[in-house]
Structure 1
Amino acid sequence: MLEIDVKKQLSSSSFAFEFKHSIPCQGVTAILGVSGSGKSTLINLINGLVKPDHGNITLNQVTLVSTTQNIFIPPEKRNIATVFQDALLFPHYKVLKNLTYGIKKLSSQKLDEMIEVLNISHLLNRYPAMLSGGEKQRVAIGRALLTNPQLLLMDEPLSALDMPRKKELLSYIDQLIHEIKIPVIYVTHNINEVKRIANYVVILEQGKLKDFGEKDSILQTDYLKEWL
C-alpha cells in the first residue's frame, strides 16, 4: 500500500497541492486530470524529486517522507522507477548499454525476458538517435523495470508520440503489466488510456483529490464526462 498525506505550495501555481489517500500497490492506478491539475507534482512527491512542505509518504509500511520526524529518503534509495515523457536515454550509449547502465546485479535471463517482451532485440546495437519515439520509450521502460523496483511510475509516457506510436506503445505497456506483475501509477490526461489499462483511477482537480475508485465506477460519473 502507498499511503500519502502531503501538502506542497507550488511557486508556479496559484493553488497549494494537497493529497491524502491510500493507493493499492497492485495493478494500474491512473492519475487523471487536465494540464496543471497536479499530476506530475504527485508523481514527483512519490519518487522524491519534490519535497512536501508538510506530511508523510509510506510505501509498503516503509516511511519515505515524514516532515514531523525529519525523514526524507532520497530518490535513488526509494526503489521506485519513473518513466518520463522524454525517454532520457544516454545519446552516446547504444540501446544495450542504456538498458543495463547503473545496474549492479542483473541476471542474463531477466535481461533476455525484458528484451523479448518489449521486442527490442533488433535495436540493441543502435544509438538513441536512430530510434523512433516509441522505440525510445520502450527502452526507457525496460531500463526502469530492470532495476527491479517495488513501484513503477509513468508520467504521460505517450504524450510526445503520434497516434500510431501511441497505440503501439500502449499495447506493449498493457502486455508488460500482465506479465511483469508490478504495481504501476500511470499519469495521463487521456481517458482512452485509462479505459485501456487502469484498474483504479485518481481524479485531480486544481491540486486537490476530487475522486478515487475502481475504474468502472469512476468512468460512470457524470462530472467526469462533462469535465473531460
Structure 2
Amino acid sequence: MTQTITARFFLDYGEFKFDVDLRLPGSGISVLFGPSGSGKTTLLRCIAGLQRAPQGLLKINGEVWQDSERGVFVPTHKRPLGYVFQEASLFPHLTVTENLQFGLKRINKPSSAADLHQIIELLGIGHLLKRMPDRLSGGERQRVAIARALALNPEVLLMDEPLAALDFQRKQEILPFLNRLHQELNIPVLYVTHSQQEVAQLADTLVIMADGRALASGPLAETLSRLDVPLAHDREAATVWPVTVIEHEADYHLTRVAFAGGTLSLPAIDAAVGTPLRVQVYARDASIALELPSATSILNVLPATVTGLTDGHGGQSVVRLKVGNQALLAHITRKSTVLLGLRVGMGVYVQIKGTSILN
C-alpha cells in the first residue's frame, strides 16, 4: 500500500478561513511555502494536535490521528511526531547528551543506543555532546534540536522555519545536514519556509499556500513550473532538475551532467561521476530560438517543446517548455513571443545561459 498523508482541516476565524485538503507522500520532504499569514504554521499545528480543527481528518500512513465525523482526536502527547521550531529551545541546564535523552520516556518504543548514534552521526554533533547550549552556535543548536526530535523515533517530523532565526553563514552550515536528512530518513518531513532557496534545495513535494488555502501541490519541478501560481511570474522564478554527474572535462574546467532526456555542461564541480545533484535554472536565464544557433557562446542549447504560454508583468511572457522529460520556464518579452509566433505544441530550441548547483 502506498504510504500517504491525508490532511483536511477547516477553521473559521471570521475574516480568515483556513481550508486545506491535501494528500502528500508518506516519505520525503514536503515543503509548505508561502508568505506570512498564509496558514503554513496553522497546518503544522493541526497535524501536531496543538490546534483542534472542528472539521478535520488526518491520516499518517494509515493511522488515523483525527476524524471529526467519528469523534476521533488523538492528543498531541500520544502522537508519535517530532516538532522543530524556529528557536532551538534547548534546556539550558542540560548538556547536549542530556537534551537528546530528555523525553525518551514518553515514547512506547525507546530509541536504541544504535539509533541515537546514527542520529548523532547524521547531524554531525558527536563532538558537541558534552557542551552546554550556551556554548553552541545557532546552527549547532538547531542541529541538536533536530536530533532531539528524531530521538523520539517519530512517524513524522514537523519543521517550522528552522532556519529563519539564523544568519546566512549559519544557514549554509546547516543546509548540508538537512540534505542528509532528505537522503537518509524514511519518515515524512513537513517543512515550513518562505525561502525560495530552501524550497529548491530541500523539497521533494511542494505545497504553495496563500490566504489559508493550498493553491497548488505536487512534485517540486512540476509545481514550480505551473503557470497558474504566482511563483512562475516572480522575478526569481526557477525550475529545479535532478541531475547526475557523468563526466569531467578537466581541460575546460567543466562538468557534464545528465538529466531526464539530455545533458548539460556546467562549471567544474568537485563531485565523483555518478553523484546525484540538483540544478536550478532561473527563468530569466533561458532564451528561445526557432532554429538551432549555428554559432553561439552558450554551451547548453537544447531542443524543447512549448507546453504553455501566459502573459506576465510589464510586457513579459512566461513560457513553459518541456526539455527531454523536464519542465522549464522562460521569461521573455511579449514582443519576442509575437515575433517568434510561439504557440503550444511548437518545437523550439532553448538556450540556458546559467545554472546554479544546489547541493
- SS of aligned partner of 2:10: strand
Which one has more relative contact order, counting CA pairs under 8 Å at least 6 apart?
1
Are positions 1:113 and 2:118 aligned together?
yes
**How many Å apart are 1:225 and its aligned residue?**
3.4
- Map 1:44-63; keep pairs closer than 5 Å: 44-63=45-64
Query: 1:102 corresponds to which letter in structure 2?
Result: G
Greater helix percent: which structure?
Answer: 1
- The structure with the larger Rg is 2
Q: Which residue of 2 aligns with 1:219?
A: 224
Q: Which residue of 1 aligns with 2:268?
A: none
Return the alpha-carbon distance in structure 2 between the equivalents of residues 77 and 55 of structure 1. 18
**How many Å apart are 1:34 and its aligned residue?**
0.5
- More deviation in 181-190 or 2-11? 2-11
CA shift digits 1:127-174 (9 cap, x unpaired): 111111111110010011111111111110000000011111111011
Q: Which residue of 2 aligns with 1:159?
A: 164
**How many Å apart are 1:77 and its aligned residue?**
1.1
Return the alpha-carbon distance in structure 1 between the equivalents of residues 163 and 13 of structure 2. 25
Return the alpha-carbon distance in structure 1 between the equivalents of residues 68 and 115 of structure 2. 38
- Map 1:14-53; keep pairs closer than 5 Å: 14-53=15-54
* TM-score normalised to structure 1 length: 0.94
Return the alpha-carbon distance in structure 2 between the equivalents of residues 2 and 221 of structure 1. 23
Query: 2:84 corresponds to which letter in structure 1?
Result: V
Greater strand percent: which structure?
Answer: 2
- SS of aligned partner of 2:104: coil
Q: Which residue of 2 aligns with 1:69?
A: 70
**How many Å apart are 1:181 and its aligned residue?**
2.5
Q: Contact between 1:2 and 1:22, CA under 8 Å: does it hold in 2?
A: yes
Q: Contact between 2:28 and 2:185, CA under 8 Å: does it hold in 1?
A: no
Return the alpha-carbon distance in structure 2 between the equivalents of residues 31 and 216 of structure 1. 15
- Map 1:50-199; keep pairs closer than 5 Å: 50-104=51-105, 105-199=110-204
Q: Contact between 2:89 and 2:145, CA under 8 Å: does it hold in 1?
A: yes
- SS of aligned partner of 1:129: helix
Q: Which residue of 2 aligns with 1:2?
A: 5
Give the gaps of 5 or more residues in structure 2. Answer: 237-359
**How many Å apart are 1:21 and its aligned residue?**
1.8
Q: Contact between 1:114 and 1:142, CA under 8 Å: does it hold in 2?
A: yes
Identity of matched residues, %:
41
Give the gaps of 5 or more residues in structure 1. Answer: none
Q: Contact between 1:9 and 1:53, CA under 8 Å: does it hold in 2?
A: no
Return the alpha-carbon distance in structure 2 between the equivalents of residues 180 and 57 of structure 1. 22
Are positions 1:208 and 2:213 aligned together?
yes
